[in-house]
């Protein structure tokens, strides 16, 4: 614990209670007796890997309340952690020691939607799926989709610069976000809630908050450009004999499906066997294959798109690129095929502790990382089916269309022996190939020590200067990557 930070006193809590009102829904106060059970969900992350010891959760419902809280915390040297849906995968959303949790859950209003331009303005605590359902009722779609959509929030999505399943089609949040409102640690409200697509008046400061993981300020509102909801969506699921064939299939998909291609996802057999084991669901194909690809198309004409995808499937099967494949015939089948991809994260979580590596590597070498890691873990005698083997599986899956691989090492329980075999090995492997050690999840606490594998000392130095400018006292999400 950094001794520069004050410890919470009843006087501090009285100030917050006074500000937010004493109605029970606005704060959870462990200093004055709230049960640990009430605080526990805010102290523990989605993976149950990190556990903090916060005694106070504040749930402001207006920007003004955030501003007053942060100004007070800054003056009194109280450290804070912004927390959205708490689905982050790098330990960034939970306190490390006794930092106050600033929950965004009551900032959950949709503020405005322009049906002509597709611009949505919403508070940062709106749940992603809620925003998408609202947009569906207007004929639009949120330009980001991910497996945690039922819990994660727009502010958390921006703060992590989440990539997700359709980045290939709609691009990154750095392009789709038009504006933000944020509160700095000293209480200053940065009102950059622009609804303009073009705005070249000086530095584009909002970009700094996208991917800052709550280290510069709290994002309170978001304005984002949403595309028209596609009238037709189709999904195909393929089995392939090698990673080489997956690359060929991707190349063909880009060529043959071009403008309607909206997702190209990769899953290895290990990841699919796990989903099968956990859900018990019937697998999409009759046989098993070393690799699977899920392809989604989104377009405006059902017949045209189905025909294109059908032709594509026939062509890649004739060429021997794909060994077997199936097309979703209706919405239920479409969702079912997607569940084999989206369900991997949760299935892995059922096994015990998971070491997660979210990496970006040039496509030709991408899957080699999984094979090399599996071989290394096996050589160390750690991989196997018996109770005494700490590692149960080394699997790979991810957003192949974005050269983004998720290497996951599933263990019976988090184990230092395993960690030593994996780290820094994985990071060195990536750095040697000029890859990124965090493609979309961020650095948080989990990857904080390893930033140097993907960023030069000069760049880390510049990041520290920016941090110093926005948060000179360092109260915003301390102990994390910066
Ligand atoms: P939290 O977990 O609460 O917070 C994440 C970080 O953002 C923390 O550092 C926190 O301090 C900060 N933060 C949160 N809200 C704010 C705010 N309003 N202002 C400032 N800082 C804030 N990620 C991907 O990129 N692609 C995926 O496909 C993907 N799939 C996932 C699937 C599952 C099943 C799960 C559990 C996670 C997945 N993730 C994925 C991880 C991803 O980072 C999160 O799901 C999501 O973006 C985080 O949103 P959240 O609201 O839960 O944020
Ligand atoms: C995904 O693509 O499924 C997510 O990023 C979560 C994960 O890496 O497990
Ligand atoms: Zn992902």
Span from the CA of 437 to the centroid of ligand 3 (angstroms) = 13
Asked if residue 74 belongs to a domain, the reply is no
pLDDT exceeds cutoff 80 at 43: yes
- Listed residues 344, 360, 388: the one ending a domain: 344
- CATH assignment at residue 337: 3.30.70.2190
Average pLDDT for 449-476: 97
Q: Closest Cα partner for 309 from 360, 251, 258?
A: 258
- Listed residues 313, 344, 375: the one ending a domain: 344
Pocket test for ligand 1, best of 152, 215, 479 (most atoms within 8 A of CB): 152
For residue range 24-33, list pLDDT tens digits in order.
789 999 988 8
- The C-alpha angle 306, 307, 310, rounded to 5 degrees, equals 85
Instruction: Catalogue the long-range contacts made by 112-118 (C-beta closer than 8 Å, 24 or more residues apart).
Output: 113/138, 113/140, 114/195, 115/139, 117/195, 117/225, 118/225, 118/226, 118/227, 118/228
Asked if residue 360 belongs to a domain, the reply is yes
Q: Identify whether residues 272 and 367 lie together within a single domain.
A: no
Asked if residue 271 belongs to a domain, the reply is yes
Q: Provide, rounded to the nearest whole percent, the portion of the chain with pLDDT above 90.
A: 96
For residue range 102-131, list pLDDT tens digits in order.
999 999 999 999 999 999 999 999 999 999
pLDDT exceeds cutoff 80 at 342: yes
> Domain range spanning residue 391?
351-441
What pLDDT is stored for residue 35 in this prediction? 84
Q: Identify whether residues 266 and 162 lie together within a single domain.
A: no
pTM for this structure?
Answer: 0.97
**Is the minimum distance from the CB of 366 to ligand 1 under 6 angstroms?**
no
pLDDT exceeds cutoff 90 at 344: yes
**pLDDT band at 302, cuts 50/70/90?**
confident
Q: Identify whether residues 251 and 299 lie together within a single domain.
A: yes
- CATH assignment at residue 409: 3.30.70.2740
**Is the minimum distance from the CB of 220 to ligand 2 under 6 angstroms?**
no
Atom 2 of ligand 2 has which residue's CA nearest to it?
398
**Is the minimum distance from the CB of 155 to ligand 1 under 6 angstroms?**
yes
How far apart CA 136 and CA 133 sit, in angstroms, is: 5
Atom 8 of ligand 2 has which residue's CA nearest to it?
406
For residue range 116-173, list pLDDT tens digits in order.
999 999 999 999 999 999 999 999 999 999 999 999 999 999 999 999 999 999 999 9
Cis amide bond preceding 424, omega within 30: yes
Atom 24 of ligand 1 has which residue's CA nearest to it?
162
Average pLDDT for 19-26: 86
Q: At what angle do helices 368-379 and 425-432 cross, to 10 degrees?
A: 150
**Is the minimum distance from the CB of 84 to ligand 1 under 6 angstroms?**
yes
Q: Specify the residue for token string 């909206």.
A: 262
Pocket test for ligand 1, best of 91, 106, 160, 341 (most atoms within 8 A of CB): 160
**Is the minimum distance from the CB of 406 to ligand 2 under 6 angstroms?**
yes
Residues 293/324, Cβ–Cβ less than 8 Å: no
Collapsing DSSP to helix, strand or coil, 459 comes out as helix
- The C-alpha angle 451, 454, 457, rounded to 5 degrees, equals 70
How far apart CA 266 and CA 258 sit, in angstroms, is: 18
Asked if residue 73 belongs to a domain, the reply is no
Which ligand is located closest to the Cα atom of residue 345?
2
What pLDDT is stored for residue 24 in this prediction? 74
**pLDDT band at 34, cuts 50/70/90?**
confident
- The C-alpha angle 196, 199, 204, rounded to 5 degrees, equals 110
**Is the minimum distance from the CB of 88 to ligand 1 under 6 angstroms?**
yes
**Is the minimum distance from the CB of 147 to ligand 2 under 6 angstroms?**
yes
Pocket test for ligand 1, best of 84, 164, 445 (most atoms within 8 A of CB): 84
Span from the CA of 406 to the centroid of ligand 2 (angstroms) = 7
Asked if residue 205 belongs to a domain, the reply is yes
Q: Which residues pair with 476 in a beta bridge?
A: 80
Please state whether 171 falls in left (phi above 0), alpha (psi between -120 and 50) or beta.
Answer: left
Q: Identify whether residues 155 and 191 lie together within a single domain.
A: yes
**Is the minimum distance from the CB of 441 to ligand 1 under 6 angstroms?**
yes
Q: Identify whether residues 258 and 330 lie together within a single domain.
A: yes
Please state whether 296 falls in left (phi above 0), alpha (psi between -120 and 50) or beta.
Answer: beta
**Is the minimum distance from the CB of 87 to ligand 1 under 6 angstroms?**
yes
- Listed residues 199, 225, 251: the one ending a domain: 225
Span from the CA of 8 to the centroid of ligand 2 (angstroms) = 36
pLDDT exceeds cutoff 90 at 482: no
Residues 93/83, Cβ–Cβ less than 8 Å: yes
**Is the minimum distance from the CB of 213 to ligand 2 under 6 angstroms?**
no
**Is the minimum distance from the CB of 218 to ligand 1 under 6 angstroms?**
yes
Which ligand is located closest to the Cα atom of residue 148?
1
What pLDDT is stored for residue 33 in this prediction? 85
- For 451, counting Cβ atoms within 10 Å of its Cβ (0-12 exposed, 13-18 middle, 19+ buried), the class is middle
Tell me how far CA of residue 156 lies from CA of 15, 55, 219, 227, in angstroms.
Answer: 27, 22, 9, 21
Q: Identify whether residues 383 and 325 lie together within a single domain.
A: no
Straight-line distance from the first to the last Cα atom of the chain, in angstroms, rounded to the nearest whole number:
16
What pLDDT is stored for residue 412 in this prediction? 94
Helical residues (DSSP H) of 283-393, grouped into ranges? 302-318, 331-342, 344-349, 368-379
User: Is the ipTM reported for this complex over the cut 0.85?
Assistant: yes
How far apart CA 122 and CA 108 sit, in angstroms, is: 8
- Report the range of poorest mean pLDDT among 11-25, 219-233, 433-447: 11-25
139-173 b/e (C-beta count within 10 Å ≥ 16 → b): ebbbbbbbbbbeebbbbbbbbbbbbbbbbbbbebb
Atom 26 of ligand 1 has which residue's CA nearest to it?
164
For residue range 239-283, list pLDDT tens digits in order.
999 999 999 999 999 999 999 999 999 999 999 999 999 999 999
**Is the minimum distance from the CB of 396 to ligand 2 under 6 angstroms?**
no
Asked if residue 14 belongs to a domain, the reply is no
Q: Identify whether residues 124 and 220 lie together within a single domain.
A: yes
Asked if residue 424 belongs to a domain, the reply is yes
How far apart CA 190 and CA 182 sit, in angstroms, is: 5
For residue range 376-432, list pLDDT tens digits in order.
999 999 999 898 999 999 999 999 999 999 999 999 999 999 999 999 999 999 999
Asked if residue 287 belongs to a domain, the reply is yes
pLDDT exceeds cutoff 90 at 351: no
pLDDT exceeds cutoff 80 at 23: no
Q: Identify whether residues 133 and 221 lie together within a single domain.
A: yes
Residues 11/31, Cβ–Cβ less than 8 Å: no
The total domain count for the chain is: 3
What pLDDT is stored for residue 10 in this prediction? 96
Measured from the Cβ of residue 111, the count of other Cβ atoms closer than 10 Å reads 13
The DSSP element (H or E) to which 122 belongs, if any, is strand 119-123
**Is the minimum distance from the CB of 478 to ligand 2 under 6 angstroms?**
no
Residue-averaged pLDDT of the chain: 97
For residue range 64-85, list pLDDT tens digits in order.
999 999 999 999 999 999 999 9
Tell me how far CA of residue 152 lies from CA of 103, 213, 216, 370, in angstroms.
Answer: 12, 14, 20, 28
Span from the CA of 235 to the centroid of ligand 2 (angstroms) = 19
Pocket test for ligand 1, best of 67, 125, 130, 159 (most atoms within 8 A of CB): 159
**pLDDT band at 22, cuts 50/70/90?**
confident
Q: Identify whether residues 396 and 435 lie together within a single domain.
A: yes
Residues 357/407, Cβ–Cβ less than 8 Å: yes
Atom of ligand 1 nearest to the CA of 46: 36
Q: Identify whether residues 177 and 271 lie together within a single domain.
A: no
């Amino acid at each position: 614990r950094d001794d520069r930070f004050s410890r919470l006193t009843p006087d501090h809590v009285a100030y917050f209670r006074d500000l937010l009102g004493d109605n029970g829904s606005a704060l959870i106060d462990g200093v004055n007796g709230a049960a640990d059970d009430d605080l526990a969900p805010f102290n523990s992350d989605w993976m149950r890997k990190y556990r903090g010891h916060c005694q106070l959760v504040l749930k402001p419902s207006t920007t003004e309340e955030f501003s007053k809280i942060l100004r007070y915390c800054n003056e009194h040297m109280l450290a804070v952690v912004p927390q959205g849906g708490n689905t982050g995968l790098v330990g960034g959303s939970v306190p490390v020691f006794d930092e106050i949790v600033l929950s965004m859950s009551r900032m959950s209003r949709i503020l405005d939607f322009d049906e002509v331009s597709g611009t949505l303005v919403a508070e940062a605590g709106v749940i992603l799926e809620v925003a998408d359902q609202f947009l569906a009722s207007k004929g639009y779609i949120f330009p980001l989709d991910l497996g945690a959509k039922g819990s994660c929030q727009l502010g958390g999505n921006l703060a992590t610069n989440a990539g997700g399943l359709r980045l290939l089609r709609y691009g990154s949040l750095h392009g789709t976000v038009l504006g933000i409102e944020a509160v700095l640690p000293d209480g200053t409200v940065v009102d950059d809630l622009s609804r303009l697509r073009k705005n070249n008046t000086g530095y584009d400061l909002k970009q700094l908050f996208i991917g800052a993981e709550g280290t510069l300020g709290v994002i309170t509102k978001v304005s984002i450009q949403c595309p028209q909801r596609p009238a037709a969506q189709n999904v195909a699921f393929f089995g392939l004999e090698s990673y080489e064939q997956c690359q060929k299939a991707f190349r063909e998909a880009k060529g043959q499906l071009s403008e309607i291609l909206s997702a190209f996802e990769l899953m290895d057999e290990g990841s699919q066997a796990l989903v099968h084991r956990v859900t018990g669901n019937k697998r999409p194909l009759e046989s098993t294959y070393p690799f699977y690809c899920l392809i989604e198309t989104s377009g405006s004409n059902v017949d045209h798109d189905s025909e294109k995808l059908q032709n594509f499937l026939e062509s890649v099967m004739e060429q021997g690129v794909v060994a077997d494949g199936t097309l979703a015939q209706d919405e239920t089948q479409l969702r079912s095929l997607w569940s084999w991809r989206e369900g991997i994260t949760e299935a892995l979580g059922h096994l015990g502790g998971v070491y997660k590596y979210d990496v970006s590597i040039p496509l030709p070498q991408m899957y080699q990382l999984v094979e090399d890691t599996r071989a290394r873990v096996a050589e160390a005698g750690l991989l196997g089916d018996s109770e005494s083997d700490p590692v149960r599986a080394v699997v790979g899956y991810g957003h192949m269309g974005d050269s983004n691989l998720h290497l996951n090492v599933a263990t019976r329980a988090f184990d230092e022996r395993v960690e030593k075999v994996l780290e820094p090995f994985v990071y060195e492997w990536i750095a040697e190939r000029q890859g990124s050690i965090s493609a979309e999840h961020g650095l948080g606490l989990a990857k904080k020590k390893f930033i140097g594998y993907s960023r030069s000392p000069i760049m880390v130095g510049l990041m520290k200067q920016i941090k110093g400018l926005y948060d000179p006292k360092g109260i915003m999400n301390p102990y994390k990557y910066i």
